[in-house]
């Protein structure tokens, strides 16, 4: 199992006010960050900070060692984790962190 200091690839699902800042900080710290948001403007803003924008939740998560989920409500969390196919593409040992408010 990878140690925390070995984690270098992250996915961020939900690039709104909080998600974009988390992604930006991770990029600044040297992480490879892939992100997805249903809002094109939010995705574009994250891209300007060095986040690789993906076309789907699964694309953002398929190479990530940790995926941060920053969406608005429980229904969206279920969509991201259970209905998107994310669990099918994550590598064994990957972590999903729910950080929604």
Give the CA count within 13 Å in the CB-facing half-sphere of 27.
19
Dihedral pair phi/psi, residue 5, rounded to 5°: -70, -15
| Within a domain: 92 | yes
Return d(Cα 28, Cα 98) in angstroms, integer. 21
DSSP letter assigned to residue 81: I
In this prediction, residues 76-95 reach a mean pLDDT of 95
| Within a domain: 2 | no
- The reported pLDDT for the residue numbered 28 is 98
> Is 13's pLDDT higher than 80?
yes
- The reported pLDDT for the residue numbered 2 is 55
- Number of domains comprising the chain: 1
> Is 78's pLDDT higher than 60?
yes
| Within a domain: 39 | yes
In sequence order, the 6+-apart residues with CB closer than 8 A to the CB of 27 are 33, 49, 50, 51
> What's the pLDDT tens digit per position in 38-53?
999 999 999 999 999 9
CATH number of the domain bearing residue 35: 3.40.50.720
| Within a domain: 1 | no
In this prediction, residues 5-16 reach a mean pLDDT of 94
**How does residue 100 score in pLDDT terms, banded at 50, 70 and 90?**
confident
| Within a domain: 18 | yes
């Amino acid at each position: 199992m990878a140690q925390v200091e070995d984690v270098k690839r992250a996915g961020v699902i939900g690039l709104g006010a909080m998600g974009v800042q988390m992604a930006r900080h991770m990029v600044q710290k040297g992480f490879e960050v892939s992100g997805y948001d249903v809002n094109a403007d939010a995705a574009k803003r994250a891209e300007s900070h060095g986040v690789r924008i993906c076309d789907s939740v699964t694309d953002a998560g398929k190479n990530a060692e940790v995926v941060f989920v920053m969406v608005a409500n429980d229904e969206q969390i279920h969509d991201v984790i259970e209905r998107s196919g994310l669990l099918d593409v994550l590598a064994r040992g990957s972590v999903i962190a729910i950080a929604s408010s």
